[in-house]
Amino acid sequence: MGLELCIHMISLLFFILSGAGADMNVGVYNVKDYAAVGDGQTDNTKAFESAWSAACAVEGTATIVIPEGAYLLGPIIFKGPCKGKMVMQVKGQLLASTHLEAYTQNWLDFQYINGLVISGGGIFHGQGASAWPYNQCPKTRKCKLLPANLVFSFVTNATISSISSIDSKLFHMQIFESRDITLDSIRISAPGDSPNTDGIHIADSTNIQVANSVIGTGDDCISIGPGCTNLTIFNVLCGPGHGISIGSLGKNANEKDVSGLTVSKCTFTGTTNGLRIKTWPSSPSRLMATGFVFEDIIMNNVYNPIIIDQNYCPFANCPEKDPSLVKIKDIKFRNITGTSASPEAIKLVCSKAVPCEGVELNDISLKCTGDDEQAKNMTSTCVHVYGSSNGNVKPDPCI
């Protein structure tokens, strides 16, 4: 008996030390344990806020689990700093409230977090069709912005992967004043005529990577604002939408430079633009856009495959007369192939005040999808551009 008792005590001690006798859910916070109901109708805002508050207060890694189901949510700010790394495992579908009066700004806003993971295959549904008719921003500068789906502000060391964003009321994902973020295997979709539904908008951020994703919206698949450095966009399928755009730049005072961008192995299908740099005329201050590489790109029936527009203005009435003060320099377009929906496949219109410099066109082959006359008359347009081409460019280069 003595030996059996000893063995039993050792086994019990091992059981306790291994943690098997403790609460197995320590560090795991299921929103259903905080009264969340995945019926698509119950307002779960408070339940999600409570789960976040509890997880944020724990040292180490805290995992918030959102199981299968449809969870209706009003606007939430998931705010740090937290004591440890935050993981949000999204299996279900999150539905944005359609009551616009409930929003002061965005839908789901992640702020001041160091160490964040969002994954799980779940869906963030903005239910934007209910709000798009109220968007006046395509018509006038003075407009009220609708809420974006997912916003990351002052976030560092984050990975957002294997999730979908559907029908945001405005931008699907917005990254601001953040660094060291990877977005991988993201799916973003909205109708081609939905206003200002940019897929991913990045501003004032550094070391951001977007990879292996599919984006089709009513605006830019990816838009890059002022103050961005060291961005990488790789293996992204874009369409419908307005392409990948740097800018618009030069609209507001005190904007910061944009430098260090690589876009590679991306495919554009049926988009208005492919690779675009756009700046406003009459810039209130000077800034630079420099060090961009666009390479190994496929265009499928894209209206403006390669475009620099330094007279950008989306409104019917544009009173600005002075040239843009945004300096565009060291821009490389390499190995770009496919088809253009217009005969003007390369359009580089730069500022007479600060002409573009160091623009390279190398190994470009673009054919027109129009009639024989358009295909025969394909052109490149260059205005105030200085640079070079390697001779293997179709349509014939203008630099």
Instruction: Tell me the catalytic residues.
Output: 242
Q: Are 339 and 366 in contact (CB under 8 A)?
A: yes
Measured in whole angstroms, how far is the alpha carbon of residue 243 from the centre of its chain?
12
Q: Are 97 and 76 in contact (CB under 8 A)?
A: no
Q: Give the tokens for residue 272.
A: 């208005």
> Cα(155)–Cα(176) distance, rounded to whole angstroms?
8
Q: Give the tokens for residue 185.
A: 């295997």
> Cα(171)–Cα(147) distance, rounded to whole angstroms?
8
> Cα(338)–Cα(346) distance, rounded to whole angstroms?
13
Q: Give the tokens for residue 226.
A: 């002022």
Instruction: Classify the C-alpha dihedral 337-340-346-347 as positive or negative.
Output: negative
Which residues, in sequence order, are bridge partners of residue 394?
365
Which residue type, as a one-letter code, is found at position 293? V
> Cα(188)–Cα(222) distance, rounded to whole angstroms?
11
Task: Scan for tokens 């377009």, then name that residue.
Answer: 333
> Cα(69)–Cα(123) distance, rounded to whole angstroms?
10
Helix (H, G, I), strand (E, B) or coil at 255: coil
Helix (H, G, I), strand (E, B) or coil at 32: helix
Pairing status of strand 70-73 against strand 222-224: unpaired
Residues 6+ apart with CB under 8 A from 288: 257, 258, 259, 326, 327, 328, 329
CB atoms within 10 A of CB 21: 10
Helix (H, G, I), strand (E, B) or coil at 249: strand
Q: Give the tokens for residue 333.
A: 């377009």
